[in-house]
């Protein structure tokens, strides 16, 4: 399996356990690895043979603007399922980071990995 990676994707969303934290959008940072068979794309040099990473980023930004989450875990699962279901990925690994949310803390977050059960 091959990997398409999207590193340090900055996205605005409403995220946090306290209600006040979800009042205003905040920046989160995503690192995403998408498992896909790139054999045909390597041979054809055609976008139709791969996952359009611009479309992935656009769709993530769209859905995170529309939704609010209490937990980074729920946000990570939402993005994984979106990539698996809408883009036909074989697997997705995502790191979600909330930067500088607590004093003296660079970031907090989660890393999860999911596989497409239909492939």
**pLDDT tens, 31-89?**
999 999 999 999 999 999 999 999 999 999 999 999 999 999 999 999 999 999 999 99
Query: Position of tokens 């399996």?
Result: 1
pLDDT recorded at residue 3: 97
Q: What's the DSSP call for residue 80?
A: H
Residues 6 or more apart in contact with residue 8 via CB below 8 angstroms: 29, 30, 31
Q: How far apart are CA 18 and CA 68, in angstroms?
A: 12
Q: Compute CA distances 24 → 13, 45, 68, 85, 93, whole Å.
A: 8, 42, 10, 29, 27
Which pLDDT score, from 0 to 100, does residue 48 have? 93
Rounded-to-integer distance, Cα 30 and Cα 57, Å: 10
**Residue 117 is a catalytic residue:** no
Give the DSSP letter of residue 18.
Answer: S
Q: Which is catalytic among the residues 95, 98, 106, 117?
A: 98
Angle, helices 53-66/72-87, rounded to nearest 10 degrees: 140
Domain 2-112 indexed as CATH 3.30.1130.10 = yes
* Torsion sign (Cα): 97, 30, 58, 77: negative
Joined together, the tokens standing for residue 86 give 């809408």
Whole-model pTM over 0.85 = yes
């Amino acid at each position: 399996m091959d990997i398409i990676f999207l590193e340090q994707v900055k996205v605005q969303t409403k995220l946090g356990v306290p209600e006040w934290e979800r009042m205003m959008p905040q920046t989160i940072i995503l690192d995403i690895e998408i498992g896909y068979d790139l054999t045909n794309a390597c041979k054809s040099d055609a976008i139709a043979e791969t996952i359009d990473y611009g479309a992935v980023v656009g769709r993530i930004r769209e859905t995170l603007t529309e939704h609010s989450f209490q937990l980074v875990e729920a946000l990570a699962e939402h993005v994984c399922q979106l990539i698996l279901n809408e883009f036909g990925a074989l697997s997705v690994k995502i790191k979600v980071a909330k930067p500088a949310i607590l004093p003296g803390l660079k970031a907090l977050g989660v890393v999860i990995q999911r596989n497409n059960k239909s492939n």
